[in-house]
Amino acid sequence: MSKEDPGYSGLILIEPTSHSVASLFKIRKVLVTEKTPYQEIMFVEIEEFGRALIIDNLIQSTERDEYIYHESLVHPAMLIHSDPRRVLIIGGGEGATLREVLKYKSVEEAVMVDIDEKVVEFSKKYLEFMHRGSFYDDRAKVIIMDGLKYVRETPDESFDVVILDLTDPYAGEVAKPLYSEEFYRDIYRILRDDGVMVTQAGNSFYYKDEYEYVYNNIRKVFPYTAEYWVWVPSFNYTCNFVLASKKQDPYEFTEEMFADRLRNRGIETIFINPSKLIALLKMGIIK
Amino acid sequence: MSKEDPGYSGLILIEPTSHSVASLFKIRKVLVTEKTPYQEIMFVEIEEFGRALIIDNLIQSTERDEYIYHESLVHPAMLIHSDPRRVLIIGGGEGATLREVLKYKSVEEAVMVDIDEKVVEFSKKYLEFMHRGSFYDDRAKVIIMDGLKYVRETPDESFDVVILDLTDPYAGEVAKPLYSEEFYRDIYRILRDDGVMVTQAGNSFYYKDEYEYVYNNIRKVFPYTAEYWVWVPSFNYTCNFVLASKKQDPYEFTEEMFADRLRNRGIETIFINPSKLIALLKMGIIK
Amino acid sequence: MSKEDPGYSGLILIEPTSHSVASLFKIRKVLVTEKTPYQEIMFVEIEEFGRALIIDNLIQSTERDEYIYHESLVHPAMLIHSDPRRVLIIGGGEGATLREVLKYKSVEEAVMVDIDEKVVEFSKKYLEFMHRGSFYDDRAKVIIMDGLKYVRETPDESFDVVILDLTDPYAGEVAKPLYSEEFYRDIYRILRDDGVMVTQAGNSFYYKDEYEYVYNNIRKVFPYTAEYWVWVPSFNYTCNFVLASKKQDPYEFTEEMFADRLRNRGIETIFINPSKLIALLKMGIIK
Amino acid sequence: MSKEDPGYSGLILIEPTSHSVASLFKIRKVLVTEKTPYQEIMFVEIEEFGRALIIDNLIQSTERDEYIYHESLVHPAMLIHSDPRRVLIIGGGEGATLREVLKYKSVEEAVMVDIDEKVVEFSKKYLEFMHRGSFYDDRAKVIIMDGLKYVRETPDESFDVVILDLTDPYAGEVAKPLYSEEFYRDIYRILRDDGVMVTQAGNSFYYKDEYEYVYNNIRKVFPYTAEYWVWVPSFNYTCNFVLASKKQDPYEFTEEMFADRLRNRGIETIFINPSKLIALLKMGIIK
């Protein structure tokens, strides 16, 4: 006389993966649901993944696998630059991109520009294991502002590295200008002459056209580009990245060169290592 | 270049309807998720239904349709009794069953016994539109205690009406003894000689055997019984009730008699009226 | 070392219940999936419900509970008519509405008009337990044609009873004219002077405005109308009906009158009986 | 007056990804659903993925992305062998693994042993684009038999390469012995002295313990092993592989050596190339 539980009962997140594919995650607890002027944000606890930030129903980072995404976003760009001192992060409200950037002792200032102060406020409160205090580091400067505007108003050659930690290029109207040729021209302008840029770029298999739009825009502006991707389990697909640089061809790097830089700079990571860096660059993309 | 939303993205409640059927509801907001010693409770806002109490993933009441359930539970039992003065409610933590009982001016005391103080605490905080202050009525006495124990320890012939507002008979081990022959014998004992009892009884179509177990247990104890059901939209099925009485056969009531009692007692309702009361008793059940 | 099955794995039908509510059914087998010029049809086997016809992702009838819908659609209209000889069914491709109509020995001809010959073809093949040979009864005349056109071209006063067994009023553009005032005027015209009409009308709780549109259109045309509904488990909501008549007020019928007619006409049913007929008429609707 | 489609309505495949994660795919058409003595098989058409074989609710291969899985399974093993003449495939009922093996002109005989003749029968009928006639190649020998038994009864040193194309190690009791130390000892025995074996091994992130069980069993038997994985979109996770060899260390291969072998043997592929082969070996696994 007991009701068989048919399985997925309870609170579920249905995350769209593509036009016709979605993923189901069991939600253990909902900490915050908030509609900000820019997006809908949720801080939740997901079975098997722990605490997570969700924006517009898309998982941004989870306790269990955020290191894969954040290390893959930050280190290739930081490592191919010979001496990164000033770094700009657009987006990245969780503070984990900032955390990875601040691992580099050469960094004198890391400016993080996020449009949504609520994301930063709640990340400080609920995601200590992600930012690990980096918001309070003396070298960190957090600015609540539209990244487009910030970049437009920044003087020429202000940064060594620019890291774009944004929602997917197909995540809505807000995202679109942040993947436009015009925006990349502005970033090129504010980068110093050996500057490096990296952006996450969604998924090139399910969103081939959107990915190509992004990649082609970057290629029109930067002389050197590289494509790579990693599987982020909680995204339920692989995340593509495009790396771009003014002077340094990423493909010239060898495993030994990456090993030297990681060792010399004292960078400790969970996912990224010299062997994986080469693998990322050699893997090509899936369309 | 925009991601087509494949529809059900976001926070969803999957509520089991039967062994192989379930219902999906869009969740707008989660107010509380709490694991108590007895059950998992959630207070949420559901699209089209408003605020709701959910216990063990089953919707208990929602802002939009709770009146259907609570009026159908309370009024048939109260109306067939000639003069209900002392009323016992087991369960009913939302306070809405209490609200309906207190509409009767003849009621001198309404004792409500709920095992889970968290349900009562959060209902007071979040479900004002359900209890409408009834928790604070002088005639109301709320006791946090196991209903089984309360009934066992109550002296003979203490109540005129007993209302069982419990989770489904198949909702788990906790529910089982609350639908047992032994429990109904105790209730018979504490009812005065013209006493009336009513219980919700889950759904007789998807849970035929469990329903019959409940109905047969009641028939072994009470001389008069009646079966009825209503459709509660947020349950995604009809809710069955069993009415039982020591002296009064519910089927002897006519539409005029119900109309007289409702008028004389000044009871105002949204769903229940004399015509519907007759319809409920004439409808029979669906197996 | 075994993979826990998280429950709802496998083939599932997600049936929309309303704008934000849906139902999940486990599918055991898919017999046919076919896109016809009018709709998408599926014949499947559903857990707990058996064989079923699905049109545009909405369950139309299932082996286990079709009798509730078909008996409730047909018998009130047939019983309040004093001598139904010619009956018109629009829709009803499963043949089960025809089956119920042919139970009346007074019926000399039952014309069934369905727009989609594929529904009829596959129903003959897969739903024998629904039509039970009624397609092959000498009194049955099946016409593949647009119901609107058929009604428009039919001479005045051709039928005693018209039964509209159509997809929901909100199921798409095709459905709309079949619930319009104009269509009801045509039906009024082709009914004899004591003629009766009945239509299913979707659900009045989730689709209040659409239901009222239908109900008001009928009231503009017919002097007598009655509203009733039944819970059809596989619809996961209650199905509303509107009964309309030229001369006979349905509410004048007593339980005894229904009992006499059922007995005299030798009608055997599973769901419908005199008590339930009164209950249906006394229940009112839920908005 | 139209019903808003809440998105995922219709026929859906819910594929379990892990204990608490699942994936939703829209199903366009169901060609076959069949319960064989060994498993439940379905041949369906999936939106964005085309025709697919599903076993026990897990997608095995789809038209759009099967090349990623099959090329990744077959070519590393075939390429590190200096002269593969006799190849054994266990499982692989779709015929696509056979297709990749037969690309090697050195292959004199490819024995494919699948336990379920229904999978082979329906693959021949519905998956021509997968097997591309390889079932009818003179060098192919298809045996319907339990792979365990076949391996046990095969004489010593019969094969150059053994390819295990099986359901996931955690897919049920049937799968378990096919990932046991005992089974790998048998395979070692039937491999010639420079023999190579490869097996798919499920996913090491969601099923870490199960993956390690497989990997450790192989390491107890073979002197050289390599781990790699690819993302297969329709699996909604990455698929791990373990490569094992009696004499040749896979990690000694350079990009040039892979390029030479691919060129000399005239192998044409969509996914696999020398750069990706190095990337696979350098990527390491994710737990």
Which residues in chain B are closer than 8 Å to A173, comparing Cβ atoms?
Answer: 2
- Assess if residue A135 is contained within a domain: yes
Pair (C41, C124) in one structural domain: no
- pLDDT the model gives residue B4: 42
List the domain range (segments joined by +) for residue A24. 12-62
Rg (CA), chain A: 19
- C38, two tokens: 């009018």
Of B27, B207, B213, the CB nearest to A11: B27
- Measured distance CA(C103)–CA(C134) in Å, rounded: 10
What's the N-to-C CA distance of chain A in angstroms?
51
Neighbours of D, requiring at least 3 CB pairs below 8 Å, are A, B, C
Which residues in chain B are closer than 8 Å to A1, comparing Cβ atoms?
Answer: 169-170, 176, 209-210, 213
Subunit contact B8:D8, Cβ cutoff 8 A: yes
Subunit contact A6:B27, Cβ cutoff 8 A: no
* List C114, C160, C165, C168, catalytic entry: C165
Subunit contact A282:D278, Cβ cutoff 8 A: yes
User: Which of C41, C60, C79 is where one domain is finished?
Assistant: C60
- pLDDT the model gives residue D173: 77
- pLDDT the model gives residue D1: 33
Which residues in chain D are closer than 8 Å to A259, comparing Cβ atoms?
Answer: none
Subunit contact D26:A47, Cβ cutoff 8 A: no
Summary mean pLDDT of chain B: 94
Summary mean pLDDT of chain C: 94
Half-sphere exposure of A76 (CA within 13 A, CB side): 35
Give the pLDDT mean for B90-119.
Answer: 97
Q: Give residue for tokens 């009026």.
A: B71
Q: Which residues of A fall below an 8 Å CB-CB distance to B? A: 1-6, 8-16, 18-22, 27-30, 33, 42, 57, 168-173, 176, 207, 209-210, 213
* List B165, B168, B193, B209, catalytic entry: B165
Complex ipTM: 0.93
Question: Chain C: nearest CA to D8, how far in angstroms?
Answer: 7
Of C23, C206, C284, the CB nearest to B21: C23
Q: Find, in chain C, the residue whose alpha carbon is nearest to that of B47.
A: C20
> What letter represents residue C201's amino acid?
A
Residue in C32, C80, C5 with CA at minimum distance from that of residue C258:
C80
Of A6, A14, A213, the CB nearest to B22: A6
- pLDDT the model gives residue D4: 42
Are D9 and C16 in contact by the 8 Å Cβ rule? The answer is: yes
- Assess if residue D96 is contained within a domain: yes
Pair (C76, C195) in one structural domain: yes
Structure confidence by residue, pLDDT tens digits, A37-79: 999 999 999 999 999 999 999 999 999 999 999 999 999 999 9
Which of these ranges, B51-60, B155-164, C144-153, D171-180, has the smallest mean pLDDT? D171-180
Subunit contact D176:C1, Cβ cutoff 8 A: yes
Which of these ranges, A18-22, A132-136, C78-82, D68-72, has the smallest mean pLDDT? A18-22
User: Does pLDDT of C142 surpass 50?
Assistant: yes
User: Does pLDDT of B267 surpass 50?
Assistant: yes
- Assess if residue D7 is contained within a domain: no
Pair (B57, B163) in one structural domain: no
What's the N-to-C CA distance of chain D in angstroms?
51
Which residues in chain C are closer than 8 Å to D30, comparing Cβ atoms?
Answer: 11, 30, 33
Pair (C140, C44) in one structural domain: no
Question: Chain B: nearest CA to A56, how far in angstroms?
Answer: 8
- pLDDT the model gives residue C7: 59
Are A223 and A252 in contact by the 8 Å Cβ rule? The answer is: no
Subunit contact D6:B9, Cβ cutoff 8 A: no
- Assess if residue C128 is contained within a domain: yes
Which of these ranges, A7-11, C5-9, C70-74, has the smallest mean pLDDT? C5-9
Which residues in chain D are closer than 8 Å to C9, comparing Cβ atoms?
Answer: 14-16, 22, 57
Neighbours of B, requiring at least 3 CB pairs below 8 Å, are A, C, D
Q: Find, in chain D, the residue whose alpha carbon is nearest to that of C54.
A: D10
Subunit contact B10:A5, Cβ cutoff 8 A: no
Q: Find, in chain D, the residue whose alpha carbon is nearest to that of B9.
A: D7
Provide the 3-class DSSP secondary structure of residue C217: helix
Helices of type H across chain C: 66-80, 96-101, 117-126, 128-131, 147-153, 181-190, 208-221, 255-264, 274-283
Q: Which DSSP state fits A194?
A: E
User: Does pLDDT of A3 surpass 50?
Assistant: no
Structure confidence by residue, pLDDT tens digits, C208-261: 999 999 999 999 999 999 999 999 999 999 999 999 999 999 999 999 999 999
- B134, two tokens: 């009834």
- Assess if residue D170 is contained within a domain: yes
Of B24, B233, B286, the CB nearest to C22: B24
CATH number of the domain residue A32 falls in: 2.30.140.10
Q: Find, in chain B, the residue whose alpha carbon is nearest to that of C25.
A: B21
Give the pLDDT mean for C179-188.
Answer: 98
Please report which confidence band the pLDDT of residue A7 belongs to, taking 50, 70 and 90 as the band edges.
low
Please report which confidence band the pLDDT of residue B7 belongs to, taking 50, 70 and 90 as the band edges.
low
Pair (C233, C209) in one structural domain: yes
Q: Find, in chain B, the residue whose alpha carbon is nearest to that of A29.
A: B33
Structure confidence by residue, pLDDT tens digits, D173-215: 778 899 999 999 999 999 999 999 999 999 999 999 999 999 9
Question: Taking the mean position of all CA atoms in its chain, how far away is CA B156?
Answer: 24
Which residues in chain C are closer than 8 Å to D2, comparing Cβ atoms?
Answer: 170, 172-173
Pair (A179, A149) in one structural domain: yes
Give the pLDDT mean for B247-272.
Answer: 97
- Assess if residue A162 is contained within a domain: yes
Give the pLDDT mean for A192-202.
Answer: 97
- Assess if residue B249 is contained within a domain: yes
Are B287 and B204 in contact by the 8 Å Cβ rule? The answer is: yes
Of C206, C233, C275, the CB nearest to B237: C233
Question: Chain D: nearest CA to B4, how far in angstroms?
Answer: 10
Domain count of the fold of chain A: 2
Of C10, C22, C209, the CB nearest to D6: C22
Give the pLDDT mean for B211-224.
Answer: 98
User: Does pLDDT of A153 surpass 90?
Assistant: yes
Q: What is the pTM of this model?
A: 0.93
Subunit contact A9:B22, Cβ cutoff 8 A: yes
Q: Find, in chain A, the residue whose alpha carbon is nearest to that of C8.
A: A7
Helices of type H across chain B: 66-80, 96-101, 117-126, 128-131, 147-153, 181-190, 208-221, 255-265, 274-283
% pLDDT > 70, chain A: 97
Q: Find, in chain B, the residue whose alpha carbon is nearest to that of A202.
A: B3
- pLDDT the model gives residue A2: 37
Subunit contact B1:A57, Cβ cutoff 8 A: no
Four-point Cα dihedral A62, A65, A70, A73, nearest 10 = -120
Burial of D216 by CB count in 10 Å (0-12 exposed, 13-18 middle, 19+ buried)? exposed
Provide the 3-class DSSP secondary structure of residue A110: strand
- pLDDT the model gives residue C174: 77
CATH number of the domain residue B86 falls in: 3.40.50.150
Q: Find, in chain C, the residue whose alpha carbon is nearest to that of A25.
A: C6
- Measured distance CA(C77)–CA(C200) in Å, rounded: 12
Four-point Cα dihedral A101, A104, A106, A111, nearest 10 = 10
Are D23 and D236 in contact by the 8 Å Cβ rule? The answer is: yes
Give the pLDDT mean for B122-143.
Answer: 96
Pair (B160, B211) in one structural domain: yes
Of A6, A22, A176, the CB nearest to B9: A22
Subunit contact D5:C22, Cβ cutoff 8 A: no
Pair (C98, C194) in one structural domain: yes
Which residues in chain A are closer than 8 Å to C8, comparing Cβ atoms?
Answer: 6-8
Pair (C151, C20) in one structural domain: no
| Neighbour tally for B188: CB within 10 Å | 18
Structure confidence by residue, pLDDT tens digits, B184-216: 999 999 999 999 999 999 999 999 999 999 999
Subunit contact A48:D23, Cβ cutoff 8 A: no
Pair (C258, C131) in one structural domain: yes
Please report which confidence band the pLDDT of residue A6 belongs to, taking 50, 70 and 90 as the band edges.
very low
Pair (C118, C220) in one structural domain: yes
Question: Chain B: nearest CA to A247, how far in angstroms?
Answer: 31
User: Does pLDDT of A5 surpass 50?
Assistant: no
* List A114, A116, A165, A168, catalytic entry: A165
Please report which confidence band the pLDDT of residue D7 belongs to, taking 50, 70 and 90 as the band edges.
low
- D235, two tokens: 């699996």
Pair (B218, B138) in one structural domain: yes
User: Which of A23, A47, A62 is where one domain is finished?
Assistant: A62
Provide the 3-class DSSP secondary structure of residue A216: helix
Subunit contact C8:A5, Cβ cutoff 8 A: no
Q: Is C165 a catalytic residue?
A: yes
Instruction: Give the CA angle between residues D264, D267, D272 to the nearest 5°.
Output: 120
- Assess if residue B150 is contained within a domain: yes
* List D65, D114, D165, D168, catalytic entry: D165
User: Does pLDDT of D5 surpass 50?
Assistant: no
> What letter represents residue A156's amino acid?
D
| CA distance readout (Å), A14 to A8, A10, A18, A211, B150 | 11, 12, 12, 23, 43
